[in-house]
Amino acid sequence: MFDLQNIRNQFPILQQSVNGKPLVYLDNAATSQKPISVLDSWMKYYTEINANVHRGIHTLSQLATEEMELARQKVQKFINAKHDYEVIFTRGTTEGLNLIAYTLTGMMKEGDEIIISHLEHHSNIVPWQMLCERTGAKLKVIPMDENGVLQMDFLRENLNERTKIVSVNHVSNALGVINPVEEIIAETRKNSDALIVIDGAQSVPHFKIDVQQMDCDFFVFSGHKMYAPMGTGILYGKESVLRKIQPFQGGGEMIAVCTFDKTTYADLPFKFEAGTPNVGGNIALGAAVDFIEQVGHQNIQQHENALLGYCQEKLLQIDGLRIYAEHAKRTGVVSFNLQGVGISSDVGMILDKLGIAVRTGHHCTQPIMRFFDIAGTVRASFAVYNTFAEIDALAEGVKKAQRMLS
C-alpha cells in the first residue's frame, strides 16, 4: 500500500515552517531530503562503528568494512549490475564523469570524436571538452527541437569509426525530458565501437534502472538526489571496460604492491577508490536504496507522474505562463517562466517568502537556456513525499508573484 502520510512522517525536515509558512519543498532535482532511516544509518556508523575500512584486523574496522561492502551489494542489485566490483563509490555524478573522461585520455587521439547532446548538464559537457583539448578529439552535439526532444537523425548521421564516446543524460535536469537512451545505445552499437556513458543523476530517483538490459558501458549517479547524503555517488562500469582503463587517482587503497621502482594496482573495484572513502555516507547510500525498494519503484513513478501532470495542469491555467518541453516525455520536473517577468529569481524569492522552495536560474545548463533565448527558468521538481496540496500552494504562489511583478 502507498501511504503518502507515512512516507512524509519519515522526513523530519518537512515538518518545519519557513518564513512562517509550512515548508513546501520542490527543489528535489537539486537535492532530495533524507528519511530517518538514512539519517539513522549515518549516525549509527559514527556513534557505534567509526573506523577505516579494509585491511584492519580490529573489530570496528571489520564491521565498517562489512557495512560498506553490503551497501555496494545493495547498489549492485538496485541497478542490476552483473558484479558488485563493477560498482565504484564516488562523491557524485560529476566526479564519476570526470573519472571516465580522465581515464579514457590514453585511448583517444586527434581526429577521434565524442558525441553528447544539447540537453546536458555542464558536468557532462566540460569534462569532454577538456578531454578534447588534451587529445585533439572533436566534440559533436546532438541538437534538440523546440520541445526539448533530441534530433536522432543527427546521431545516426554522425556515428562512424571515429566515434569513440557517446555520453548523454538519461533525464534532463533542467527540463525533465526523458531521453531515448535505449535507442541511442542501439544506434551506437550498430554503427560504431564507441563507449557509451549514461548520466543517471535525474533518472535513478524516479524509475527502475537495469544497466545490463540498457547495455551501457558506464552509468553514473549521485546519492544526494535519491535520499542519500551529499558527497556520495556511484560509477557503474562494465568489468571488461574497467579492466582496460587506468586509475583516476593514486594513493592508498588502490595499490596491490608499491615500490619505488613500480606500483601495481589493486583489483576492481579498489583500483578506482584511492584514499579513505566516505564510509558513513556510503553506508547511508545503502539505506537510501532500502528506502526506495521499500516504497517501490512503481509506487514512486506513479505518484510522481501524477504530481507532474497535476502541476502542469494547474500552472497552464495561469495566463502568460510557459512550460518548457511541455509536450515532451518528462519526469520529475516542471520548468517555466512568466511572460513579462525577466528574472526567474524574482519569482523564486516571492515563492520563498511563502515557504515554497524552487530552483531558479540556468540549472548548470546554459546551452539549453541559450537555445530558448532566456537567462533561466523557475524549476519545480518532485520527490515521492510531495503532495497535490503542495502543487496547489505553488500555483497560488506563482499567481501572487505574477501580480506583484507585472
**Known active-site residue 311:** no
Stretch (H or E) spanning 89: strand 87-90
199 contact partners, CB below 8 Å, separation of at least 6: 93, 97, 120, 121, 123, 124, 167, 168, 169, 170, 220, 221
Residues contacting residue 12 through CB under 8 Å, at least 6 positions apart: 36, 39
Exactly one of 132, 258, 311, 364 is catalytic; which is it? 364
**How many residues comprise the chain?**
406
**CA pair distance 49, 41, nearest whole angstrom:** 11
Q: CA 290 to CA 56: how far, in whole Å?
A: 27
The C-alpha atoms of residue 336 and residue 326 are separated, in whole angstroms, by 9
Packing angle, helices 279-295 and 36-44, rounded to 10:
150
Catalytic residues: 364
